[in-house]
A = this chain, B = another copy of it.
Amino acid sequence: MGNKISTVINFDWKPDRKNQLPLSKQIVNYITERISRGDWLIGQKLPSQRDLAKTLNVNRSTIIEALSELNSLGIIEGNFGGGTTITNNTWSLLFSAATPNWKSYIESGIHKANFPTIQAINKLEFEENIIRLSTGEMSPDLFPHEMMKKVLGKIPSRAFSLNYIEPLGLLELRKALSNYLKSFELDVTPSQILIVSGSLQALQLVSISILRPNSTVFIEEPSYVKSLHVFESTGMQMKDVPMDENGLIPWMINKSNIKNDTSILYTIPTFHNPTGLTMSLNRRLEVLRWCKSNQLPIIEDDAYRELWFDELPPVPLKAHDSTGNVLYLGSVSKSLAPGLRIGWVAGPEPVVERLGDIKMQTDYGASSLSQWALTEWIESGLYEEHLKSFRTQLINRRNFVLSFLDQYFADLASWNVPKGGYYIWLKLNLSISTEKLFELAINENILINPGNLYSFTKNPYLRISYSYASLDDLAVGLKRLSEIIRSL
């Protein structure tokens, strides 16, 4: 299995300059202690000499001294320039055979590790000075901070305690949502809504609650969910469904892959991640018709709906669903704040109850602080007020990025003009490896999401997001990125 022991150790510690012990000795003691206590394991790597010196705030010569002592103790091994690896935690016989074989536990766990690129992105996003050209989040500048203050101020007058809540989630929030969703022409009662900790969790719940190993999940090619193992880790098979400019093409679904009562279609019909495409009204009806006649249920992931620019997108598939075929997923992660970790599933009551029952066994429900906050956001009207100004700012950002693409990428790539959402799906003209590009860009402190994260086949795409980086960073980053590409 691909679940490797994490490579590089984290130091949350610095030697004490007031201590009498020499710095290098302190470092040796600290490392030895951490290893002997089983906090760090055989197989883990130490940071490079340069990084160690920086992190511990000492001279490189101090590091070299410490490493050679550790080496002569037989605790670490390796060439000191590149990788130094922990090789021994049993120099004291007292402890032999004591630490469990965690390596084996980690390697044999059921769920698959994130793709290395995703793991790298998850960490690099929190480094300083990195320009994030692909991040699927709202820029911190755009966060409605003053409104949040108001919202938080209101919570204590409604939430008199923060106890466990109902399996489906806070009733007040489900009522507010049932009402709010009417604006999308959805008619769902509070009992048909399950509050989840973000819509990704809804997918996780679907995969463990209503699918079984070897179920088929049909997925757009490309699709955001391919960057995760949420279906694969529980043994489902993912099958590609091609898209054209009107969205996924249902009649291209291979009917022989639809196994009775074990298949499902996952789609992001509105401002699709990563392509930015929106399914046309006609196609929506065709997809519904096709799925009904094949009794194929649909998961409609509608996280970006509210982020339209010049005109409203067609109403959700769910609004046309007269026979309970669609499980509808919503989220405020893209429209307001992913840190709330609030999304919802709306669908047939027994299905929603089943998902809620499993959610209770998974984490006893979503944060009720977050649920109260969102209730207040929606009921006060602040949510819609925020959306209005957020949309305007997103259009400006899109236009800003488009102008830079025109300037720097006209001969390098082609792209769509998104009508909403966060993303531009940039197709490079040259056949260069986007994974290679990812690494070269990181060296220049630029973070990009290569297209192969969203596809099972190699492809010449990058997902560019205009939602996150500051305008300055977007300008600098795109220019530098174009230069890297040119240099190839």
Contact = CB atoms under 8 A, between A and B. Distances in A.
Contacts of A407: none
Interface in A338-379: 338-342, 348-351, 353-354, 357-358, 360-370, 373
B341 A367 contact: yes
Interface string A402-438: 0000000000000000000000000000000000000
Contact of A354 (B113, B153, B164, B208): B113
Number of copies of this protein chain within its complex: 2
Chain A interface bracket (under 10, 10 to 19, 20 to 34, 35 or more): 35 or more
B297 A97 contact: no
A114 to B, nearest CB: 5
Interface string A255-292: 00000111000000000000000000000000000001
Given A39-B349, A234-B110, A261 B104 contact: yes
A88 interface: no
Interface string A220-260: 00000000111001100000000000000000000000001
Interface in A313-330: 321-325
Contacts of A167: 122-123
Contacts of A364: 198, 200, 338, 341
A437 to B, nearest CB: 24
A82 interface: no
Interface stretch (A155-163, A303-311, A386-394, A442-450): A155-163
A343 to B, nearest CB: 9
A243 to B, nearest CB: 23
Interface stretch (A8-16, A73-81, A454-462, A478-486): A8-16
B101 A261 contact: yes
A5 interface: yes
A361 B98 contact: no
Interface in A143-181: 143, 145, 148-149, 152-153, 155-156, 159-167, 178
A108 B323 contact: no
B143 A148 contact: no
Given A190-B12, A358-B111, A105 B351 contact: yes
Interface string A59-75: 00000000000000000
A371 to B, nearest CB: 8
A101 B258 CA distance: 13
Contact of A295 (B101, B123, B333): B101
B137 A160 contact: no
A213 interface: yes
A129 B126 CA distance: 49
Contacts of A145: 156, 160-161
A84 interface: no
Interface in A79-129: 95, 97-106, 108-111, 113-114, 119, 122-123, 125-126
Contacts of A143: 160-163
Contacts of A12: 178, 189-191
Given A296-B100, A323-B99, A350-B41, A161 B189 contact: no
B297 A102 contact: yes
A134 interface: no
A26 interface: no
A312 interface: no
A153 to B, nearest CB: 7
Contact of A163 (B106, B140, B188, B362): B140
Contact of A39 (B125, B161, B348): B348
Nearest to A262: B108
B105 A297 contact: yes
A209 interface: yes
26 contacts: A6-B350, A9-B349, A10-B189, A37-B323, A39-B192, A41-B349, A43-B350, A98-B293, A98-B323, A101-B295, A102-B351, A105-B210, A106-B210, A108-B261, A137-B164, A140-B163, A163-B337, A197-B341, A198-B363, A200-B361, A201-B362, A201-B363, A208-B233, A233-B361, A341-B363, A370-B370
Interface of A: 3, 5-6, 9-10, 12-13, 36-41, 43-44, 95, 97-106, 108-111, 113-114, 119, 122-123, 125-126, 137-138, 140, 143, 145, 148-149, 152-153, 155-156, 159-167, 178, 188-192, 197-198, 200-201, 204, 207-213, 228-230, 233-234, 260-262, 292-293, 295-297, 321-325, 333, 337-342, 348-351, 353-354, 357-358, 360-370, 373
